[in-house]
Amino acid sequence: MAEEMLIRISAFLGVLGLMAFGEVLIPRRHLTTSKARRWVANLSIVVIDAAAVRLLFTAGAVGASMLAAERHWGVLNHLSWPNWLELVLAVVALDLVLYLQHVMFHAVPLLWRVHMMHHADLDCDVTTGLRFHPVEVVLSMLIKVSAIAVLGPSPQAVLSFEVLLNATAMFNHSNVRLPATMDRCLRWIVVTPDMHRIHHSILPRETNTNFGFNLPWWDRLLGTYRLQPNDGHERMTLGLTQFRDPARLTLTGMLLLPFTGRPGDYPLSHDR
Ligand SMILES: [Zn+2]
Ligand SMILES: [Zn+2]
């Protein structure tokens, strides 16, 4: 347990520090609002999310995989394939579940209300990758625990997936400029900042693309991939049309957003 926490915290702080440094050194876009205010709000959300998950899911997703192994739940707990193969399969399968969950949070108006807090950020940087409403984080955990019960991955596979996801979410939300060739090559194996930024576009037809957080394949295979934003990365507007006032996006404002904010034209099911 202590070792698990150490792995999580060192990976989190390491990637956060690295990307934050990269954003200062080689920024991709000029920030449009106060970085200090956004960072205070976004990092406060991280603390609230962590507390909510600890409180409701004491043993977390790793604990769920241990329980599944003990009770012989899940496909992988009935197979004796090599550990490395089960780990790769579990990471890929959990990533597909996450992609489908993300599409669902855009498609269902009620879920979009919860997810829109992530999209309401007026700039996109490393902390945006950590900014999810506590209700979304709790629902995500319920989906993940259910997927673990069906799949039966090892605790190592679940920990690897969670650490990897946390790291890639910070990487692909970061405001770091990568050389075009590097971006093109990386896009075959991981979602890059230029790929995910399109998902934060103010234009609904761009917001509803590039749903992947970790592996870029699902968007390409399932028809939601977009190569570049219409207005280019430097000129495109980020955020949502209905939330343009930074003064409303305080910590309290963000937590209240699903209940007080208008969902706008974003849900996929909205008539246009
Ligand atoms: Zn989204
Ligand atoms: Zn995002």
The number of the ligand nearest the C-alpha atom of 125 reads 2
Beta pairing partners, 201: 238
For the segment 64-81, what is each residue's pLDDT rounded down to a tens digit? 999 999 999 999 999 989
Q: What is the DSSP letter of 58?
A: T
How far away, in angstroms, is 79 Cα from ligand 1 center?
35
Task: For residues 212 and 172, give the distance between their C-alpha atoms in angstroms, rounded to a whole number.
Answer: 10
**E strand or H helix at 152:** none
How far away, in angstroms, is 68 Cα from ligand 2 center?
31
Q: Would you state the torsion angle of the CA atoms of residues 37, 119, 50, 162, taken in this order, to the nearest 10 degrees?
A: -130
Report, as an integer, the average pLDDT of 161-182: 97
* Domain spans in the chain, listed from the N-terminal domain onward: 2-260
How far away, in angstroms, is 218 Cα from ligand 1 center?
14
Sequence-ordered list of residues with C-beta below 8 angstroms from that of 49, at least 6 positions apart, any chain: 130, 132, 134, 137
| Helix 83-107, helix 109-119: angle, nearest 10 | 100
For the segment 89-135, what is each residue's pLDDT rounded down to a tens digit? 999 999 999 999 999 999 999 999 999 999 999 999 999 999 999 99
How far away, in angstroms, is 172 Cα from ligand 1 center?
13
